[in-house]
Structure 1
């Protein structure tokens, strides 16, 4: 039996998830804050600017009325930029059922700069006791909207919630695993964008495949160190929302973080790069928060440190490369002993 689902956010990922959900027989209402955007969505049956070629069924409703998008729905899928998460949750909070039956699925990746909260914690901060979970993994909207094979993970505090979301989203082209490690999933999702910026910078600067492989490998080590210090599980960072999401974000030209990094590696400022990519580059927003978390938990994150200095202090990529390559000699994995 199909569910009533409200999707909060009408960008490329929101539309791609609407495609998955309508394919699975669910009734979908998509919210956007702009009436002009809603009008375009209705006319095109999708988002022609952000995800061209993906058409949704005529049964999909579009609205800028938050009450219509949320009230009475079985599931609320939140797909907004991390910088706008708190304000958006405040808009729909009054329409969430107080009995806690509605499931809120966070599909946004990032860390709130002021509070250093992951997105599911932001939702819980605004709506205490709400039924929150997170859906994440290597999943470019451009491929999901074409029904290309994609595998992802849902993390939840409650096993039954995770299984419900798994059943709602899963189909022959969209495989969903479950996990109890919500925090690890969220940390991996946010930090991989920062590492992808670094990988893009390496591409833009012409450093070659060896350097990129090293950045990905040492990047997952940094993500794991911080995630575990915060309470995440090591296994999560070797899974879909860790190494899986990192690989696809560092390797694909669908990745806005990688594309922005390429432009920065070619000498542009982060603002110029964001303007050219014309989409939200989450790694820029997560970089400062990641560095603050590294200091708070006393975790060594040299790649994240150098990315911050390039983005916000005007450091040249070649100088950052020199710093990374000439760091003190050390063993690769301190848990191994002779």
Structure 2
């Protein structure tokens, strides 16, 4: 039995895909939300129009959860630590797969690092890569990265979580997978800002390219493999989120470029991550000009025209 903690769009989409091969339980924090999903057989709040297969049970109670279960944590990174503390007695010793992307603002840690810190006896992994919830829920194909420090556990998870529309590639480079999936959100905010401000497709392409260079610079400095950043969890997800309005981070950046207020009810991992990355880069003396500018735009310390002037007036150098 696979448990998915988190009844948002992505958690629901993963459940729909995994239900092709067996029973899945979705846990919702809100009992009313769980009841509504169970009654209508649809996540009307987060993924409307997509029916839930009969193999999916929705609950707000973790009473059936045991250490023998694989638990997918589809919980925003900034809320992950609190959820793990709250349900520590149920999750201790289980196999926990983070399905969130970001860096914790208060500590600078990624999802697997948070799991290892709060629940050191759990077996931790991360599932990430180019994946929009709507695509997965409608059984459209994609490929993802499954990163686990223990390759034997990673191989077992790869077999368990692969579905007809989800092809999983595994790696032991957890740091690379965490950072690739987190840093691409920052660049997606930047690309949304570029398009929202009407700066053009050429500017977006330039930002993606130079942003990817920044991603690699930070990741390798923190112990990741450059090869991981060039894979699905880094470059693959970067391409997806920097070019589509389906990306919440892109839409958030687009609103900045347009000078509009973004819906505060929508989770935007890239906002907190940009601030966290700026702090890490400063502490590590890393040159991250695009990230710094995006963080300043998010904090309303710069206007878009000022941000572009800062980037374009930097000293010329070799690529």
Query: TM-score, normalised to structure 1's length?
Result: 0.91
Matched position secondary structure for 2:63: helix
Structure 1 residue aligned with 2:40? 44
State whether residues 20 and 169 of structure 1, in contact with CA within 8 Å, keep that contact through their aligned partners in structure 2: no
- The worse-fitting range, judged by mean Cα deviation, of 37-46 and 125-134 is 37-46
- Structure-2 separation of matches of 1:65 and 1:291: 38
Structure 1 residue aligned with 2:79? 84
Q: Does 1:317 align with 2:304?
A: yes
Instruction: Name the count of aligned residue pairs.
Output: 319
Q: Which runs of 5+ in 2 are unaligned?
A: none
The equivalences for 1:264-275 within 5 A come to 264-268=256-260, 272-275=261-264
State whether residues 84 and 91 of structure 2, in contact with CA within 8 Å, keep that contact through their aligned partners in structure 1: no
State whether residues 188 and 237 of structure 1, in contact with CA within 8 Å, keep that contact through their aligned partners in structure 2: yes
Structure 2 residue aligned with 1:284? 271
Equivalent of residue 66 in structure 1, options 47, 56, 62 = 62
Spell out, residue by residue over 1:236-263, the C-alpha distance to the aligned partner (whole angstroms, 9 max, x if none). Answer: 1111001100110011111011011111
State whether residues 153 and 240 of structure 1, in contact with CA within 8 Å, keep that contact through their aligned partners in structure 2: yes
Structure 2 residue aligned with 1:57? 53
Matched position secondary structure for 2:131: coil
How far is 1:297 from its partner?
1.4
Structure 1 residue aligned with 2:147? 155
How far is 1:73 from its partner?
4.3
How far is 1:74 from its partner?
2.1
RMSD: 1.3
- Structure-2 separation of matches of 1:303 and 1:111: 17
- Structure-2 separation of matches of 1:48 and 1:321: 40
Structure 2 residue aligned with 1:257? 249
Structure 1 residue aligned with 2:136? 144
Matched position secondary structure for 1:315: coil
State whether residues 109 and 190 of structure 1, in contact with CA within 8 Å, keep that contact through their aligned partners in structure 2: yes
Deviating 4+ runs (over 3 angstroms): none
- Structure-1 separation of matches of 2:12 and 2:266: 15
How far is 1:93 from its partner?
1.4
Structure 1 residue aligned with 2:89? 94
How far is 1:318 from its partner?
0.9
State whether residues 41 and 62 of structure 1, in contact with CA within 8 Å, keep that contact through their aligned partners in structure 2: yes
Spell out, residue by residue over 1:161-217, the C-alpha distance to the aligned partner (whole angstroms, 9 max, x if none). Answer: 111111112133211101110111001111111110000000000111110011111
Matched position secondary structure for 2:50: coil
How far is 1:66 from its partner?
2.7
Equivalent of residue 34 in structure 1, options 14, 30, 47 = 30
State whether residues 5 and 73 of structure 1, in contact with CA within 8 Å, keep that contact through their aligned partners in structure 2: no
Structure 1 residue aligned with 2:201? 209
- Structure-1 separation of matches of 2:172 and 2:67: 27
